[in-house]
Amino acid sequence: MQAAKPPYRSPLVKAWNAIASAARRPVTLDARALLVAAQRKQPDAPPPPAATMDALGVLVEAIHSGRSALHPFGRYYLEQMFAGLLSNRMRLAKFWAEHPETLADEVRQPVIVVGLPRCGTSYLFNLLAHDPEHRYLTNWETTVSQIPPTPPPVTLRQDPRRRIGKLLMAFQRHLAPGLESIHEFHLDGPEECTPLLMQGFDTQALAGMFDAPDYSHWLDHADHRATYQHHRRILLTLQRCYPAGRWLLKSPDHLAALEALLETYPDACLIQLHRDPVQAVSSWASLNAAFRGIWSERIDAAELGPQILERLATDMDASIDARQRLPADRFLDLQYRDLIADPLGQVERIHAHFGLDFAPSTRARVESFLHGDRDKKRSHAYAPEHFGLSAERIRERFARYIGHYGVAPAR
């Protein structure tokens, strides 16, 4: 088991903390101050909904009541992050008020990959992204701004948001150089929905990023419908600039909100991947340790592991209950082992199940991707023991899930 230890610090962070500590600057966050900072950036925009501010308040209070132990740079980083999420939301509200025609369009039959994090969803996501009918999110659309530039660029690569997104990705690599060995970030996508959902401050991603158990408990009963309505409006806005034949979406956060997801997108095609939760929990803990290392004084692996286990298992239990109330024909279940054994066959199966055309040109694109992917090096190593867990404990907590979907243990 790993004990609490200081995470990686870049020279910038070390210098920042030294100067701030000498000046005795506070390392606390304040939800009201974050709103004021966002309003300075968007003085003419409507304020965020009360539910959004309430969720942010719960998160901020939980960060301080937990053991996140923010250092000075961490406080500054989170101020920029949270105020940025509020600012983006406010800019969108102003844009919709000025361009109500944007919301008159439709999001038709999106294909949505769901499942535990780190269970092969990214691999499947990348496979499906080679269907030219699929429009997916780019990293810079989700992180920089969802407002289309004026005048609109001729191509994606000429979009000014892309240049900013590239700089943000480089800065993230500077702060946490090991992050991309755990999870790949592609500037031009496909990117998952998580950064958009975070504008509602009610996602399990935020529960993993912080040692904030009270926030995670609050999530157990959070109502995600408003966040998904906001998500739909963002997709309508994005496709205004770059049209979508059919959206391809993914996020581990969707698992906790299946009813809100299908209420928002009733014709969605949902593919749920299933994998031994030992791999999923261990890898997700590893990823969130890297995120916590950006802003926290220390990372207590023995606390992190059980937090991740309970959050993911609670969401999975809720998803099993939800699926019993939802139309079965909107879902297709895939086992991770089958995806790895026959990826092309599983892509064909998905298209056939939902009545989607699988053109010969799409097949060729997928085959080309698979050929290149075979030679790809993967270096991320993780084990439950690194985070105060064991395979037996994880499988015991996920016993209902394993039995319900017939998930085989990893060899």
Q: Per the structure block, which two tokens stand in for 123? A: 């691999």
For residues 253 and 209, is the Cβ–Cβ distance under 8 A?
no
Across residues 72-98, what is the average pLDDT? Answer: 96
* Alpha-carbon distance values, 278 to 103, 138, 312, 319 (Å): 42, 30, 11, 18
Cα–Cα distance for residue pair 139/193, rounded to 1 Å: 10
For residues 253 and 91, is the Cβ–Cβ distance under 8 A?
no
For the entire predicted model, the pTM comes to 0.94
**For 289-316, how does the pLDDT look when each residue is reduced to its tens digit (9 = 90+)?**
999 999 998 899 999 999 999 999 999 9
Reference 278, options 161, 394, 393, 356; nearest CA is 394
The pLDDT of residue 109: 96
- Tell which wins on pLDDT, 385 or 151: 385
Q: What is the largest CA-CA distance in the chain?
A: 64
- Tell which wins on pLDDT, 57 or 185: 57
For residues 319 and 258, is the Cβ–Cβ distance under 8 A?
yes
Across residues 147-155, what is the average pLDDT? Answer: 84
**Res 2 pLDDT > 60:** no
Cα–Cα distance for residue pair 216/310, rounded to 1 Å: 9
User: At 206, which helix (H) or strand (E)?
Assistant: helix 204-209
Domains of the chain: 11-376+390-405 (3.40.50.300)
Cα–Cα distance for residue pair 208/66, rounded to 1 Å: 13
Across residues 207-230, what is the average pLDDT? Answer: 96
**For 25-36, how does the pLDDT look when each residue is reduced to its tens digit (9 = 90+)?**
666 899 999 999
The pLDDT of residue 1: 46
Q: Per the structure block, which two tokens stand in for 306? A: 């059980």
**Res 59 pLDDT > 60:** yes
154 Cβ contact list (under 8 Å, min separation 6): none
Reference 191, options 164, 160, 167, 169; nearest CA is 169
355: alpha, beta or left? (left if phi > 0; alpha if psi -120 to 50): left
The pLDDT of residue 152: 80
**Res 74 pLDDT > 50:** yes
Across residues 86-111, what is the average pLDDT? Answer: 96
Across residues 186-215, what is the average pLDDT? Answer: 95
Q: For residues 240-267, b (16+ Cβ closer than 10 Å) or e, as one string? A: bbeebeebbbbbbbbbbbbbbbbebbee
**For 232-245, how does the pLDDT look when each residue is reduced to its tens digit (9 = 90+)?**
999 999 998 898 88
Q: For residues 1-28, b (16+ Cβ closer than 10 Å) or e, as one string? A: eeeeeebebbeebeebbeebeeeeeebe
For residues 196 and 234, is the Cβ–Cβ distance under 8 A?
yes
The pLDDT of residue 82: 97
The pLDDT of residue 377: 59
The pLDDT of residue 378: 54
Query: What order of strands is seen across the sheet that includes strand 331-335?
Result: 134-136, 246-250, 111-115, 269-274, 331-335
The pLDDT of residue 379: 53
**For 326-344, how does the pLDDT look when each residue is reduced to its tens digit (9 = 90+)?**
999 999 999 999 999 999 9
**For 152-195, how does the pLDDT look when each residue is reduced to its tens digit (9 = 90+)?**
887 888 899 999 999 999 999 899 887 777 777 889 989 999 99
**For 372-394, how does the pLDDT look when each residue is reduced to its tens digit (9 = 90+)?**
876 665 555 678 999 999 999 99
Across residues 55-78, what is the average pLDDT? Answer: 91
**For 253-263, how does the pLDDT look when each residue is reduced to its tens digit (9 = 90+)?**
999 999 999 99
Cα–Cα distance for residue pair 27/223, rounded to 1 Å: 30
Q: pLDDT tier at 3 (50, 70, 90 boundaries)? A: very low
The pLDDT of residue 251: 96
How large a percentage of the chain has pLDDT more than 90?
Answer: 79
Q: pLDDT tier at 410 (50, 70, 90 boundaries)? A: confident
